[in-house]
Amino acid sequence: MRCLLLVLDTSWRGEYPNIVQALKETGNDVDVGIVSPDVDVNYRYELVYEKYDVQELVDSYDAFGIVGGYRLYYITCGKRFPCRKLESPKINMQVVDEVVKRAFEQNKLIIAPIAAPAYLAKLGILKGRKATVYPTTDLIKILVENGVEFVNDVVVRDGNVITLKKIDVEELKKKLVS
């Protein structure tokens, strides 16, 4: 399976490397697309300023992951960033929205850790499904308000969507192969 990780932020300790580890240990190829110019990871696609054909990207991969760190939490909850370190000159959420929506419509696997399940709920992708999320009142409320059944498990897979409340490599690996 080929997976494209869309990376906004790597400030949540362990989120990025552990997802990459779980994917690679289950035999998947992993590419990275950065959607913020100050993300410090090796990447194949610079999706901040460069234009790519979104449908071509979606067609090229079997799975997509969102690595949002703290930035995605604040964006999803509509809150101001608490410090300048988290602010970014540009975060291209439009490309994330388009890729994720098209991938979901084509029944591609979507991996959403920490705050990303709430982001997916706001996009309408999780309506009528079970999901988990990092257990803060704000994030759980977003799930419930968008028709998602919150499940307080470490990893939940409902169809083509895997949600994680924390990064647990072994639990994610189990859901990737099921």
- What integer pLDDT is reported at residue 135 of this predicted model? 95
What is the spatial distance between Cα 118 and Cα 141, in angstroms, rounded to a whole number? 9
Q: Strand, helix or coil at 62?
A: coil
What does the pLDDT read at residue 64? 97
Separation between Cα atoms, residue 66 and residue 100, nearest integer Å: 9
| pLDDT value of position 88 | 66
Residue ranges and CATH numbers for the domains of the chain are: 2-177 (3.40.50.880)
CA–CA distances in Å: residue 157 to residues 55, 68, 164, 165 = 25, 19, 9, 12
* pTM for this entry: 0.94
Per-residue pLDDT of the chain (178 residues; tens, 9 = 90+): 999 999 999 888 889 999 999 999 999 999 999 999 989 999 999 999 888 999 999 999 999 999 998 899 999 999 887 777 667 668 899 999 999 999 999 999 999 999 999 999 999 999 999 999 999 999 999 999 999 999 999 999 999 999 999 988 999 988 888 7
The rounded distance, in Å, linking the Cα atoms of 65 and 110 is 6
